[in-house]
Amino acid sequence: MDKTLKRMATMQRMQVTGLELFYKKGYYNTSVDDILKELSLSKGAFYYHFDSKEDFFIQIIENLLVRKMYSMLIEPIEGHENTLDSITNCFEDALETAVHNELDFGFVLSNFVNEFNGKNEKIMKHLNDILRIWEANLVSAVQRGKFNGFIDRHVDSEGMAVFLMSSYMGIRTLMVETAPSARKYRFMSQLRQYFKSIEPKGENSLNPNAVFGNVN
Amino acid sequence: MDKTLKRMATMQRMQVTGLELFYKKGYYNTSVDDILKELSLSKGAFYYHFDSKEDFFIQIIENLLVRKMYSMLIEPIEGHENTLDSITNCFEDALETAVHNELDFGFVLSNFVNEFNGKNEKIMKHLNDILRIWEANLVSAVQRGKFNGFIDRHVDSEGMAVFLMSSYMGIRTLMVETAPSARKYRFMSQLRQYFKSIEPKGENSLNPNAVFGNVN
DNA sequence: ACTTAAACCGACCGGCCAGTCTGTTCTCAT
DNA sequence: ATGAGAACAGACTGGCCGGTCGGTTTAAGT
């Protein structure tokens, strides 16, 4: 365990800058040497730790991408009763990091889905796993929102999850070049508009979660 | 004019299969020889007609992508008074071709934006032009919808355009692998939900377009 | 029939890149 | 101190790909 410390540290360094470059320039347009140059390491070091470029990337997905997706787009929604509010805040934060050109992992994911679709089935499997997890968590968040009286009982939870993921991934694509800050603002305002049509109508509109408490 | 007929025909063939392969495998992962093999043509033929692979791709954008974007995502919305209906129908049709794995040019565009972003400024300029045209046409469609009484006067036209483009490009990314038909259905149903919150409320809800006629 | 240019062929070049392999340096237990 | 394995260095290979270039075929005008 202790002796593997150095190993782990090097692998971690490689993966972090690997993800950074893969994100910036794309997987196929980033050579292993590009990453190694950034770290002043050699081919020997790389292939000592990883089997192949593909294996390297899959480990990046498992070790970095999955965790960051959780901390940025799943956990911020998981804990709270008022689903619509927490989704709004979560998207707001994620898009704000995007405006500052920092790594926005929801977009990293969408980028890679686009790059590998139809080209590398093995990697697509891993990416689709993450999408499924994201979707499942959104679905249960919507259901919790219904239960807690913040979302109309008649809305389709699956549909809402798909719609949220779609619009999020889409706005990130649109933010890459033209007026990211303005587009973020407009997007968020329309998202709130959409949420208005989702709120419970009529008698049961007061939230009963003081009675039932949180679900799960 | 007449003598250039053969030239035009060959260039057209190259561009059509070029777009097809670039879409399926990506620009950087498709070699010029891949396209040539498909057509039983040689390098000589290619570089006789085009300056470079990049030039070739830009001509594909101008000759094929732009036109198809017009016919699939712009003109179907342009002519009609009831903006929300025509957008719904337009998206419905476009996503249906996507379900059948045919070339859906809105997605082709979004794919290329993802592939070239940060990698090829020259090509990005051309792609951004198309995005701007699409956006402008959606904005004016929304404004027409307001004028004709199908859309609430208070909604932000720019915001709605951005939101529509986002969600469309996003759902296409989500449809590439998992349950495209189901996701299309869910998406369209949520889009209609969103549109509900966009309709005019209160007194002026009856459309007055019988009085004013169409705008433009 | 002959000329001429357009259209096309395909071998070749130079550069890049994933992966290999041999060898060197570092680390640490004994 | 030293042997042994872990960690790393870097030259090299084979394949691919964009682009070039000298040559051949096709077609059209005269």
Domain count, chain B: 2
Higher-pLDDT residue of A214, A63: A63
Average pLDDT, chain A: 90
- Pick B159's closest partner by Cβ from A155, A190, A198: A190
B-interface mutation test, from A30, A34, A129, A177, most B Cβ less than 10 A away: A177
Q: Which nucleotides of C are covered by protein (CB under 7 A)?
A: 6-12, 16-23, 28-29
Q: Give the pLDDT confidence of A24-80 residue by residue, as tens digits.
A: 999 999 999 999 999 999 999 999 999 999 999 999 999 999 999 999 999 999 988
Residues B91 and B160 reside in one and the same domain: yes
Q: What is the CATH number of the domain that holds B2?
A: 1.10.10.60
Largest Cα separation within chain B, whole Å, is 69
Comparing CA positions, the residue from A102, A103, A41, A99 lying closest to residue A69 is A103
CA of A44 to C1' of D4 (A): 20
Residues A182 and A86 reside in one and the same domain: yes
Residues B72 and B150 reside in one and the same domain: yes
Residue B104 pLDDT exceeds 90: no
Residues B18 and B110 reside in one and the same domain: no
Residue A182 pLDDT exceeds 70: yes
Residues A143 and A194 reside in one and the same domain: yes
Residue B211 belongs to a domain: no
CB of A197 closer than 8 Å to CB of B197: yes
What integer pLDDT is reported at residue A72 of this predicted model? 93
Q: Is B168 in Cβ contact with A169 (below 8 Å)?
A: no
Which of the listed residues A15, A34, A50 is the one where a domain comes to its end? Answer: A50
Least confident segment among A104-108, A134-138, B58-62, B96-100: A104-108
Residues A6 and A76 reside in one and the same domain: no
Comparing CA positions, the residue from A152, A142, A125, A141 lying closest to residue A207 is A152
Question: What's the average model confidence in pLDDT over B72-95?
Answer: 94
What integer pLDDT is reported at residue A208 of this predicted model? 46
Least confident segment among A22-31, B98-107, B153-162, B192-201: B98-107
Question: What's the average model confidence in pLDDT over A72-98?
Answer: 94
CA of A88 to C1' of C13 (A): 57
Q: Could you tell me the pLDDT band of residue B202, with boundaries at 50, 70 and 90?
A: low
Residues B101 and B6 reside in one and the same domain: no
What integer pLDDT is reported at residue B176 of this predicted model? 86
Residue B209 belongs to a domain: no
Please tell me what DSSP assigns to residue B205: G
Distance (Å, whole) CA A114 – CA A170: 12
Q: What is the CATH number of the domain that holds A91?
A: 1.10.357.10
Residues B41 and B59 reside in one and the same domain: no
Joined together, the tokens standing for residue A41 give 């390491």
Residue closest to C10, CA→C1'?
Answer: B42
Instruction: Identify all chain A residues contacting B124, using CB atoms and an 8 Å cutoff.
Output: 177
Neighbours of B99 (CB within 10 A): 15
Residues A185 and A131 reside in one and the same domain: yes
Higher-pLDDT residue of B205, B146: B146
Residues B39 and B96 reside in one and the same domain: no
Q: Could you tell me the pLDDT band of residue A215, with boundaries at 50, 70 and 90?
A: very low
DSSP H helices in chain B: 5-25, 32-39, 43-49, 53-60, 66-69, 75-78, 83-99, 105-116, 121-147, 157-174, 180-196, 209-212
Average pLDDT, chain B: 90
What integer pLDDT is reported at residue B201 of this predicted model? 80
What integer pLDDT is reported at residue A211 of this predicted model? 40
Question: What's the average model confidence in pLDDT over A16-20?
Answer: 97
Q: Under the phi-then-psi rule, with left for phi > 0, alpha for psi from -120 to 50, and beta for the rest, what region is A102?
A: beta
Residue B90 belongs to a domain: yes
Residue A202 pLDDT exceeds 80: no
Q: How far is CA B136 from CA A21, A106, A207, B169, in A?
A: 34, 27, 41, 16
Distance (Å, whole) CA A53 – CA A19: 12
Residue B212 belongs to a domain: no
Residues B43 and B72 reside in one and the same domain: no
Q: How far is CA A12 from CA A37, A64, A155, B161, B171, in A?
A: 16, 9, 43, 42, 34
Residue range of the domain that includes A21:
1-50
CA of A58 to C1' of D6 (A): 24
Which residues have CB under 8 Å from B43's CB, separation 6+?
A: B32, B33, B36
Q: How far is A4 from chain B (nearest CA, A)?
A: 37
Residues A168 and A68 reside in one and the same domain: yes
Q: How far is A112 from chain B (nearest CA, A)?
A: 9
